[in-house]
Amino acid sequence: MPCARSALGALILTYGPVSGAHFNPVVSAADWFLGRRAGTGLSSADLGAYVIAQIAGAIGGSILANLMFALPAVTWSSKDRSAGHLWLGEVVATAGLLLLIFALVRSGRAAVAPAAAWPSHTAAARRRRGRLPTETLELEVG
């Protein structure tokens, strides 16, 4: 997974100035929710478009990864990934990401949020290596 995290870092740095690097629908929803009063967050229409693009990107990326490894484009997972500890791990990782992003925005360092999220994700993935068999938005790849 080191290559995937490096690619994620490159994508965050590339698209951060364009879209705020909104790859996670929870981040987009939080931006919309917290920015409603001040008029600084995403609009409802933008939020809908972002979520559709995020889901399409996750599905398209999984299909592309399967094809790159000479696998069928779409396969159904045969692994049970519904255990409570997996959900807890995703909630904790997402909450950590939100705390990092919004703390940087609140402190006036929003420009470094995309770059700071990448090492944070890498550290979280290293901590859970060997304990969680999945990454966020992963469809069956192999």
Q: How many CA atoms lie within 13 A of 129 on its CB side?
A: 8
- Structural contact between residues 65 and 137, judged by C-beta atoms closer than 8 angstroms: no
For residue range 25-38, list pLDDT tens digits in order. Answer: 998 998 898 888 78
pTM over 0.85: no
Average pLDDT (123-138) is: 48
Confidence of residue 136 (pLDDT cuts 50, 70, 90): very low
For residue range 69-114, list pLDDT tens digits in order. Answer: 999 999 888 888 788 888 898 888 888 888 887 787 778 776 676 6
The length of the chain, given as a count of residues? 142
Listed in sequence order, the residues at least 6 apart from 105 whose beta carbon sits closer than 8 Å to its beta carbon are 113
For residue range 42-64, list pLDDT tens digits in order. Answer: 899 999 999 999 999 999 999 99
Tokens of 56: 């399409």
Listed in sequence order, the residues at least 6 apart from 129 whose beta carbon sits closer than 8 Å to its beta carbon are 1
What CA–CA distance (Å, rounded) separates 14 from 8? 10
